[in-house]
């Protein structure tokens, strides 16, 4: 099986959220169950499988897997896939499509790859503040606004906290959060706090293993920009020694999310 490793959304040259790009005829032939089993064995936060594109301008269809579940959309894995496709084809693709059918348009700005997405409806209801306080391991008073459910292709439960220290101190019940997300059709909980101006810090809880907590969550940056109706910078991963930064540009009917991506040579599972 052929795969390549990438660090995505890194704030510095050695940081970034790990994603594996799985490609080639053998990868294309795997069933969803076989892909899930492979993702579980590779122990990476996310794996993306490269399948043929649907439309002529779509370089690929992307199929995303976490160790514990398949995902409708994962932007840090999409970033890795875009970097791999650019290396394969000699240029950044104009568009890709997710296995779920969502079309993603691509662009570049400096050393960042950007994805344009539109807001999607979310049918679930947000849990109560009391439930969230228990699930996140924080006092209810640290939550300073009503929780929001927002999706740019993968629904997130957004929870605003009063400051970064409250964010750092969270002790989430991951099994409870993941179980609720499966029932509600929501891809985990994203807690965030405003640092200064348009700069925010966040933590993402959608893995069962605390060691696999995301250092960067692109769908959360998109959801947060749509929720706040503004452009923003989102920092993540600092408390795990893996500082990442995502940038979101709000365009009214759309949002663009992007960041840096770096190939890892010689990475082994």
pLDDT for 132 beyond 90? yes
- The pLDDT of 212-222, averaged and rounded, is 93
* pLDDT for residue 266: 72
Task: Bin 30: left if φ > 0, else alpha if -120 < ψ < 50, else beta.
Answer: beta
pLDDT for 93 beyond 90? yes
Dist. CA 144–CA 26, nearest whole Å: 49
* pLDDT for residue 243: 96
- The pLDDT of 10-33, averaged and rounded, is 95
**CA 124 to the chain's CA centroid:** 20
How high does pLDDT run on average in the chain?
94
pLDDT for 1 beyond 80? no
Assign 43 a pLDDT band (cuts: 50, 70, 90).
confident
Assign 269 a pLDDT band (cuts: 50, 70, 90).
low
* pLDDT for residue 46: 93
- Rounded to two decimals, what is the model's pTM? 0.90
* pLDDT for residue 68: 86
* pLDDT for residue 268: 63
> pLDDT digits over 113-122, tens only?
999 999 999 9
Please, which residues have CB within 8 angstroms of residue 190's CB and are 6 or more apart in sequence?
156, 157, 158, 159, 202, 203, 204, 205, 217, 220, 223, 224
Percent of all residues in the chain with a pLDDT value above 70, rounded to a whole number = 99
> pLDDT digits over 134-190, tens only?
999 999 999 999 999 999 999 999 999 999 999 999 999 999 999 999 999 999 999
> In this structure, what token pair is assigned to residue 87?
């290396």
Dist. CA 2–CA 51, nearest whole Å: 13
């Amino acid at each position: 099986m052929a795969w390549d490793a990438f660090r995505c959304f890194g704030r510095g040259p050695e940081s970034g959220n790990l994603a594996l790009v799985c490609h080639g005829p053998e990868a294309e032939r795997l069933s969803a169950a076989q892909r899930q089993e492979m993702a579980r064995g590779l122990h990476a936060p996310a794996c993306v499988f490269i399948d043929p594109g649907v439309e002529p301008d779509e370089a690929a269809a992307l199929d995303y897997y976490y160790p514990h579940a398949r995902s409708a959309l994962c932007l840090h894995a999409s970033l890795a896939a875009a970097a791999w496709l650019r290396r394969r084809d000699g240029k950044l693709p104009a568009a890709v499509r997710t296995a779920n059918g969502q079309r993603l348009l691509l662009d570049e700005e400096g050393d960042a790859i950007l994805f344009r997405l539109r807001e999607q409806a979310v049918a679930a209801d947000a849990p109560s503040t009391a439930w969230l306080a228990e699930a996140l391991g924080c006092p209810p008073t640290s939550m300073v606004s009503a929780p929001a459910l927002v999706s740019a292709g993968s629904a997130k439960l957004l929870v605003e906290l009063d400051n970064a220290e409250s964010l750092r101190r969270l002790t989430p019940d991951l099994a409870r959060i993941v179980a609720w997300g499966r029932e509600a059709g929501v891809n985990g909980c994203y807690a965030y706090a405003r640092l200064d101006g348009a700069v925010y810090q966040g933590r993402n809880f959608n893995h069962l293993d605390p060691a696999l907590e995301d250092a960067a969550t692109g769908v959360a940056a998109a959801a947060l920009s749509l929720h706040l109706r503004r452009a923003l910078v989102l920092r993540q991963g600092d408390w795990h020694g893996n500082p990442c930064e995502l940038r979101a540009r709000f365009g009214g009917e759309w949002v663009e999310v992007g960041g840096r991506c770096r190939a890892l040579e010689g990475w082994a599972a």
